Structure 1
Amino acid sequence: EDYTFQLNLQDSFFKFFLSNSSEFPVSDIAFHFLTEIRDVPAINVCSVAPHIVEKIRVLKHVIVLREKLSYMWDYIKDCPDAEETVTKCGNLRTLFTSLEQHLLHSLDLFSLTDLIRVHNKDMSSLLEPIVYYARCHIEACEVRHFFKNSVIGVGADAEAKK
């Protein structure tokens, strides 16, 4: 039996890349396969279609946000003050840990569900506040300033002793 794979939750991936609202017949096997893997981050968009990132601004924006979050997470996970930082969206460290790990560590890797969320702009809406609050925390963090000053101070002391 063939299914008409409607362009909705299961196949917005195709709509995303084909940018039309056509329906495509798919077999039972293909339908079940796509349903089973829709949450598995298995699509490396830069490998599958490298040109697509430059053509689809919202996808490029999400990749840039994920890159920023990746660098920010390296700081937030080690900052003791981040544990206590509460934002309008919740605890700062929890905002990061609640994200699926591939969003922070495999910047070009997407699941079908991720691509649907990118297409609907839900992914941008999820990531933008986290980037904002992390940036605010990092810029104002006393631990970072203390560490930066102590490292600079150590370097200056070492140079002065020569």
Structure 2
Amino acid sequence: MKKLLSLGAVLLAASFSVAASDGLIKYQSNYSVKETADRFESIAKSKGLTLFARIDHQKNASSVDLELRPTEVIIFGNPKVGTPLMQCQQDVAIDLPQKVLVTEDSNKKVWLSYNDPNYLMERHAINGCDEVIKKISGVLSKLSEATIAK
């Protein structure tokens, strides 16, 4: 019974998220890129996170007569969380503040993606910050799941 429940939990998780080997965690969204980004921004603000920038790469490409599928990046964070991580390993600052990427692929599917905090832990050889990484992972997961919820 436990195995069946565990399998069910894994299948349920896999139905809305994909952890890719490239260090990104991806969630498929049923909303457009703009609506997904708007929802993420609104939810992040409601949780007290600071939004530093929102970059519309498609718009920027268009401004120089180039084409790009809808692609937006939102840069956000909270110094109360990011600072302890940088205190563990200052080089992680190159990957902070946090970012989410919202894209439309060639099949018209929309994805919300972010750097897997565990990947950052490996990339920067972060030791002794497991609780901070766990907290960041939880926040990113909850924000993403709320964003794509129907």
With normalisation by structure 2, the TM-score equals: 0.26
TM value normalised by structure 1: 0.24
Higher helix share: 1
State the structure with more CA Rg: 1
Task: Please state which structure has a larger fraction of its residues in strand.
Answer: 2
